[in-house]
Structure formats: structure tokens, C-alpha cells
Amino acid sequence: MSNKLISTNPTTGKQIKSYAIHSDKHVEKALKTAEKTFADWRLSTFAQRAAVLRKIAKEIRKNKELLVRLATEEMGKPTSQGHYEVEKCATTLEFYAKNGAEFLKNENIPTDAIRSYVTFQPLGTVLTIMPWNFPYWQVFRAFAPAVMAGNVMLLKHASNVSGCALAIERIINDADAPKGLLQTLLIPGSRAESLIDDHRIAAVTLTGSTEAGRKVAAAAGRNLKKAVLELGGSDPYIILEDADLDKAVAITVRGRLVNSGQSCIAAKRIVAVKSIRKEFEKRFVKAMKEATYGDPTDEQNSIGPMARPDLRDELHKQVQQSIKKGAKLLCGGYIPDTNGNFYPPTVLTNVKKGMPAYDEELFGPAAAIIEAKDATDAMRIANDTIYGLGGGIISNNRKKAEALAAKELQAGNCYVNDFVHSDPHLPFGGIKQSGYGRELSSYGIREFVNIKTVYVK
């Protein structure tokens, strides 16, 4: 096993930098620092915590260009999308600085006591295991509520974005935050389980694959520790017969290609009712063909490379296996003869159950079109998945679409006439094999607290 973590530029295939893996001694020191920091931070006021979060937001904006460049170099994020991601981190820190105290204020409950109420107390050190696809947003959407609640954090980031991980720690420290509020650990995923076993880790949050989620859930369960898991998704987008097709195409193309298609909540299975399927398909394929891929620093390109060659190869394998089982390729579906981990916008139709494009998550710029007989059949297909992270319904009959989204669509995030996206005002998370627990909003800040009853008589 290598004693280095390697960052490789997915656009050029060239190594950027290698990072020494942190030793057991380094990890032990980090755990002790976190424990010491928590002892003081838990006693800080909401006003004091809010001031720190606002300083971090200011430091993020000050370093925006550096952060965007790092993400583009390490995982291929298109520059324009990098700017959006970094700004979203800053606004979410400010959101919790403004609202955290209200979210966690004591709740008085009338009983036969002189006084009885619920109070919310921090748990301790939260181990945060994060993926590479949104190297800043995934971290800060967990960090902001957890730290505003009085916890501290150890970050085990994906190994291919170690530069981003270290930049996060540096920015927090440069904002005059207490030392140890967040510490980055450069360790392989195989060492995460031993950290969860450590008594100084109070809870764990993971964004990643369903397979990784099972391992973390097992370790957390064995140790009776709270866990929040945001895992894979195969989001369905239902195009009903009364949909505005131009709007439907715009929503699904953007939803499919955001972050070069490497998003848990991307539009992956497009379920179109039979009466409009052919016309939608024609327009959708035209728009996908017009989307340009290439150098992510060129803002003319909406799609950059995939983060790693193995991810690109796995996506291509899923596409080819689906074709062998009867799917029809309408565009893309090949590995370009160029440097970098590029994959063109790809569309498959005639997709059926039993094909990878139907049953599995396509984590890249490839979409599956599935025909449904009618709205009822479309809902059946949409829910016919092991996942339940997000989904969308596109229709001019908003009342009908809202009822389907609210009552029938089996997912944690259901959007009508828009693509699924996270917002600090709203809870975010999934059901089924997309995980459990919620991030963001008032629900997210209450995940890593002791919801304590106080009864006085």
C-alpha cells in the first residue's frame, strides 16, 4: 500500500501533488485536540459561534479564486460551477449564523411540573467522511449546522481532493476560529472504521456510495453512535403529457449535466409518457448534443472531465451493457480519443428493467429515457428503484403534479417544474438505499444534538 495520497488532474492525466498519509500519532493528536476544543466550544454562546461562522464565510469569499482553481485541478469542476459552489458555502454559513439560535432555542412543554422543557446540547466530535464531487459544499453543509450546534469536526475527505481538504482547514483557521474546530485527516478510507470505533468520536456523517454507507452504518451501529448518511441516487424525472416540452428539456438537460453529471441528485432516469415521448426525446437529444465538453477552465464548456478514469470506464461499461440488452443509443456512448477523463453527453432510449441504465446509478453525463403508458405507470417506474434521494415532475397542471410529488413519489426531495437541488432553508436527504437522516434547515442542525428533557418540580 502506498504511503501517499495522490491528486491527479483529470483534464490532463498528470499528477498534481502527493500528500503524506497521516500517521496514527497524528490522528491521535487530532483526536485529543478535538476533545479539548469541544470542551470549550460547547460552552460558547450562539452569538459567539455565529461570529465565527461569519468570519469563515468572509474568508471563503476572500479565497474564492484559489478554491475554484483547486477544485478544477483536482476533480475537473467547470470553473463557472466552482464559483457557484464556493459562494453557496459562504451563504450557508451565514444562514446558520443567523438562524441557529432560533432553531435550537429551548422548547417549553406544559406538564404537571413547575417547569418542563426540551433543550438541545451538542454531542462532541463529529467524524465527517466526504466525497470529491462537491469538495467544498458537501463539507460546509455538514460543518455549518454541526458547529453552530456546538460540535467540532474531523474531516476525512476523498483522497483525490486532498488539496481542497487542506484548504478548508486552512481557511477556517485563518478566520480565527478556535484551533481544532475542524481538522483534516489525510488517511485512506480503510482507516475510517477504527475512527468510528474510537470513544472520542460522538457521531459520523457520510456522503458517498451506498456501499460505503453500509460500512459506516455497520460501524456506527456496532458502537451505538448517531449517523447521517447521504448516499447514491437514480433520480427519476417524470414528463407528463401536458408538460411544456421546451421547459422539460431545459430542466432535464441542466439536471443531468450539472457537475459534469457527477451528482447524486442529477436527473438520471427520464420517464416520459407515451403520448409525448418521441417529441420530448427529439428535443432532448438535440440539446444534449449541443452541450460542449472539454477544458473546464473554458467557460464555453458546460461539461468537464470525469474525476477519475475508473469512473469514466465504469460509466461506459454501464452504457454498453445497456445497449447489449436492447437499449438504443441516440448520442454519445464512446470514449473520446483525447487526453483526460472525458465522456460526451450520452442518451439511451428504450431502457427497460434489467439494464444497468434502469437499475443502477449512472454517475456521469449519461441519461436514460424510459417510456410510460400514462401518469400512473410513470409513478410506478419512478418508484421502481432501490434509491430514494430525489425526483422531479414536469407538468403544466401544477396542482396534479404537486399532489403526485407530495403523496406518491418515493424520495426525500421532490421538485415540480425544476431540477432537484439543495437549499439551506430545506431539509436534504434520502430514503431506501439513498440513506437516512437529514442535512440543512432546522432538521439538519438537530441531527447531532442531545434532545434533552428537563423537568423541574
Active site (catalytic) residues: 230, 264
Q: CA 57, CA 412: separation in Å to the nearest integer?
A: 28
Q: CA 259, CA 134: separation in Å to the nearest integer?
A: 8
Q: Burial-class residue 405 by CB neighbours within 10 Å (0-12, 13-18, 19+).
A: buried
Closest to 161 in 3D by CA, of 141, 138, 180: 138
Q: CA 220, CA 197: separation in Å to the nearest integer?
A: 8
**CB distance 247 to 240 below 8 Å:** no
**CB distance 362 to 234 below 8 Å:** yes
Quote the DSSP letter at residue 293: B
C-alpha cell recorded at residue 80: 463557472
Helix 79-103 with 137-148: angle, nearest 10 deg:
10
Specify the residue for cell string 489525510: 186
Q: CA 26, CA 34: separation in Å to the nearest integer?
A: 12
Question: Residue length, the chain?
Answer: 457
Beta-carbon contacts of 267 under 8 Å, excluding residues fewer than 6 positions away, are 235, 237, 251, 252, 255, 256, 367, 392, 419, 420
Rounded to 5°, angle at Cα 375 from 370 and 377: 60
Closest to 388 in 3D by CA, of 432, 353, 439: 432
